[in-house]
Amino acid sequence: MGLIMHDQSFLILGSGGQLGKAFKARLAADGIPFLAPEEQVCNITDARHMEKALAACEPTVLVNCAAYNAVDDAEANADLADAVNHKAVRALSKLCRANNILMVHYGTDYVFDGKKHDIYDEDDAVNPLNVYGRSKLDGERAVCDCAGEFLVFRPSWVFGEGAQNFITKLRGWAADNRVLRVSSDEASIPTGVDNIVDVTLRAVQHGLRGLYHLTNSGYASRYEWARYVLELLHLENVVMPVPMSAFRSKAERPLFTPMSNERLCGRLNIDIPHWKDAVRQHVLGSDHA
C-alpha cells in the first residue's frame, strides 16, 4: 500500500545494497521525493561527500543503508568495519542533529551472544561475539547518543535483490551439488527488505522514535530456511543438517538470536508478515504473497 508523505524528502545512503535498492524502488513507486546517490560519489566515511549530498537534497530524513557486512572478513579488517559501521555513523548522526534531520539506521541481531536461549527483546543485554557485531553495536550507540531525532532498527538475516544473501547463494549451491550441508543449530529470523522498508516508512509517518527490533515474524534455523526455499522451487536436493561449527568460519557467530518485533508492532498497531510469507513472495514473486 502506498503511503502519502509528500512533506518528507529522503536521502538514501548505501543505495546499491539490498535494503538501499528496496528503498529506491518503494519511494519511486509511492512518488515520495528522494535522492539515492551512487556509493562511489557518496562514501559515508568521506565527510565532504556527506556534506555535498545533504546540500543537494536538503532531506528531512536520512536513511543509512550502508554497512560493512562481511562478518568473517571483518575479523582481519577491524579498522574498516569500525570506520563504516561506527565512526561514519557517529559523524552522520552529528550532521543530522545539526541540520534537524531524522536519522534512520539499521543494527543487527549480532549485537547479542545467543546465550539467552529465548527470544530477545530490546531491553536484553548486548554482548557481540565478533568484530562485525561490536562495530555495529558501537554504531547504534553513536546514533542514540548523537543524532537527536532517530530511529534505529535491528533486522536479522536480511534478504532482497543481491548476490550476497543466503537465498541467492543457496540457489547457486543447489545448482552445483545434490547434497547440501546447512547448519541446524543456528537460528534467527529471515527478514525481507520490502517489509523492512514498509515498516520503516510507517514508523517515519507515525512520528515514532527510538530503537526497535524489525524482523519478520516467527523464527527458523538456517536448515529450515533452506528446506523451505528448496520446497518452493520444487528442488529435490538433499539437505543435511550439520552444526555451525562444521564450517570453521573466521568469526564466531551467535547460535540463537531471534528477536521479538512485538514492541514495534504494538507502537505502530501493525502485524509484520511471517518469514515464510516474505520468503515465498521473494522467491515466487508478488502473486504468491
Q: How far is the CB of 68 from ligand NAP (least distance, A)?
A: 5
CB atoms within 10 A of CB 126: 17
Name the residue nearer to ligand NAP (CB basis): 4 or 73.
73
Residue 274 carries which DSSP code?
A: B
Q: How far is the CB of 240 from ligand NAP (least distance, A)?
A: 23
C-alpha cell at 221: 534455523
Q: How far is the CB of 234 from ligand NAP (least distance, A)?
A: 26
Q: How far is the CB of 161 from ligand NAP (least distance, A)?
A: 9
CB 170 within 8 A of CB 230: yes
Residues 6 or more apart from 98 whose CB is under 8 A from it? Answer: none
Q: Footprint of ligand NAP on this chain (CB under 6 A)?
A: 14, 16-19, 39, 43-45, 65-69, 84, 106, 108, 136, 155-158, 162, 164
What is the Cα 141 distance to its own chain's centre?
A: 16
CB 197 within 8 A of CB 256: no
Name the residue nearer to ligand NAP (CB basis): 236 or 275.
275
Name the residue nearer to ligand NAP (CB basis): 7 or 59.
59
Name the residue nearer to ligand NAP (CB basis): 45 or 238.
45
What are the Cα distances from residue 40, in Å, to 14, 49, 52, 289?
Answer: 10, 10, 13, 35
Name the residue nearer to ligand NAP (CB basis): 42 or 101.
42
Query: Can you tell me the distance from the alpha carbon of 228 to that of 245, in angstroms, rounded to the nearest whole number?
Result: 22
φ, ψ of residue 207 in degrees (nearest 5) = 80, 20
User: Residue length, the chain?
Assistant: 289
Query: Can you tell me the distance from the alpha carbon of 146 to that of 84, in angstroms, rounded to the nearest whole number?
Result: 16
Q: How far is the CB of 6 from ligand NAP (least distance, A)?
A: 26
Enclosing H/E stretch for 239 = strand 238-242
Name the residue nearer to ligand NAP (CB basis): 19 or 174.
19
Per annotation, catalytic residue among 68, 110, 120, 132: 132
Q: What is the distance in angstroms between the CA of the first residue and the CA of the last residue of the chain?
A: 13
φ, ψ of residue 244 in degrees (nearest 5) = -60, -30
Q: Would residue 219 show up in a list of annotated catalytic residues for this protein? A: no
Query: Can you tell me the distance from the alpha carbon of 127 to that of 114, in angstroms, rounded to the nearest whole number?
Result: 9
The residue number with the shortest CB distance to ligand NAP is 17
Q: How far is the CB of 255 from ligand NAP (least distance, A)?
A: 15
Q: Catalytic residue positions?
A: 132
